Amino acid sequence: MSPRPRAFPAWLRGIASVCLLLFATSHSQAEEYDVVILNGRVVDPESNSDEVRNLGIRGNTIQAITAERLRGRTMVDASGLLVSPGFIDLSVHDLDGKPPYALRVLDGVTTALTLERGTADLDRWYAEHQGKAPINYGVSIGHVPIRKLVMRDTTPGPTPSGDAAHKAASDEELAEIKRLIEQGMRRGAVMLGLVIQWTPGASPWEIQEALRIAARFGAPSMVHIRYQGAVEPLGSVLGLEEIIGAAAVTGAPVHIIHITSMGLRATPHLLQMIHGAQSHGLDITADAYPYTGASNPIRSSMLDEGWQARLGIDYHDLQWTATGERLTAESFARYRETDGRVVLHMIPEHIVQLAVADPSIIMISDSVTGHPRSAGSFARVLGKYVREAKALSLMDALRKLTLLPAQRLERRVPMMKNKGRIRVGADADLTVFDPGRIIDKASYEAPTLPSEGIKYVLVNGVVVVRDGAPLTGIFPGRPVRAPAQ
């Protein structure tokens, strides 16, 4: 008869049970991630960290950042690639998909906001975009569309050329403009949008009154200043003075839009003014896009009589986006009767590089149909200005594309505290790219060529770009909106 096996002592069986439980728990934890990004160079501008790590994502949130190997339902091998917070674009004019969303995600953008022009009907705008966007989306309450509505300006397109552009508001009209701005703020507008150059008839007092409303709600205002260029007295310095003064007397936080195309050769003066205002306690920020060509509707007041002297350019510096042709006096007059756009080749390259290198200037696309900045702005910063020109460091560039725009909005829109960062608890908006290959390919003649080097993009934990190809039929984008009051 064989000897009976000896039973393990109770204490030893207890230890074995605990070990099995720990193994099962760790195994289940490894399996519970929806997406895992392995072996990526994880760069986070908030913490200044730059290390090879693995990320575990559950739902729309980053749940783990570790050197240990993780397992999940979807595995992304990021070996040799850089993992960055998703890029945040504060200025998009064509969020309706023209150019296609594919161009945005292939430029690394995970959040695109229409803040300069904005809308007059906030609820309708968000309803129109709900469930249709692969990236996060949001909008400002817009002074220009409200002015068009109140003054019954039926000019086709977004740019006014009738009363909304040139007429001073009556007391009754101003009261209605203010009422609609306040209504938009109460409904959760991200910002107030003020394109003052498009509305030269709006008095400085009207602008101050609009800023007062935004300030009351703690909302920043995105401002396109009234005057442009270096020709004084009605140049960009005076235009910026108006806004700095209005910010000082109203307490409004302000954000100056595309400072290079407004300042042109006077941009160094504008940067000095902004830094000075900041040092004296004013809440003022600014942005720029990384191109020498601006873009504007040809009917805009920007191209009213005297534009050659103001902008320092002539007809041949205007390029009709529909055909790519350079304009003449005759074609300019003909196209001025239509509703198309022109590229204005007017920003010196050294001015662009100055703004790109300034650590406080946020980078945007100012995306419009027919301009390469709609497809290549963020890849251009990382490829042309970081890798090739060495105008700024990789960390500083990523900060300008991710953290700074998130911080500009987060007091008004608390959800932005979880964007623009890579940390546990942050939203899983991530851009994974090859820092040695990333570059813009779009040009003024071929403005819809996608950028190269973006390998993966995740929006709220959902992969929208895989192996350099955008995925279709996936809409994980969420509304970026302040709490309604």
pLDDT tens sequence across 1-46: 444 445 555 555 555 554 544 444 444 444 689 999 999 999 999 9
What φ, ψ does residue 114 adopt, rounded to 5°? -100, 85
Q: What is the pTM of this model?
A: 0.92
Q: At what angle do helices 349-357 and 267-279 cross, to 10 degrees?
A: 20
Q: And the tokens for 303?
A: 């191209």
384, 71 in Cβ contact below 8 A?
Answer: no
Strands 109-119 and 87-89: parallel
Q: And the tokens for 81?
A: 């690639």
Mapped onto helix, strand or coil, the DSSP state of residue 378 is helix
Inter-CA distances, 445 with 321, 366, 449, 464, Å: 8, 18, 10, 28
Strands 82-85 and 49-58: unpaired
pLDDT at 351: 98
The proportion of the chain whose per-residue pLDDT surpasses 70, expressed as a percent, equals: 93
Taking the C-alpha atoms of residue 241 and residue 233, their distance in angstroms, rounded to an integer, is 12
What φ, ψ does residue 49 adopt, rounded to 5°? -85, 145
Look at 51 and 94; give whichever has higher pLDDT: 51
Taking the C-alpha atoms of residue 207 and residue 1, their distance in angstroms, rounded to an integer, is 102
pLDDT at 369: 86
Return the closest-CA partner of residue 90 out of 128, 126, 140, 147: 140
231, 125 in Cβ contact below 8 A?
Answer: no
Number of other residues whose CB lies within 10 A of the CB of residue 130: 13
pLDDT at 299: 87
Taking the C-alpha atoms of residue 174 and residue 50, their distance in angstroms, rounded to an integer, is 51
Number of other residues whose CB lies within 10 A of the CB of residue 340: 16
> pLDDT-derived band of residue 335, with 50, 70 and 90 as boundaries?
very high
Mapped onto helix, strand or coil, the DSSP state of residue 50 is strand
Q: Quickly list H helices, 187-266.
A: 204-216, 236-250, 259-263
pLDDT tens, position by position, 270-310: 999 999 999 999 999 999 999 999 998 898 888 989 999 99
pLDDT tens, position by position, 185-227: 999 999 999 999 999 999 999 999 999 999 999 999 999 999 9
Structural domains for the chain: 86-421 (3.20.20.140)
DSSP string, 87-144: EEESBBS-TTTSS-HHHHHTTTEEEEEEEEEEES-HHHHHHHHTT--SSEEEEEEEHH
Q: Quickly list H helices, 45-170.
A: 101-105, 122-129, 143-150, 163-166
pLDDT at 12: 53
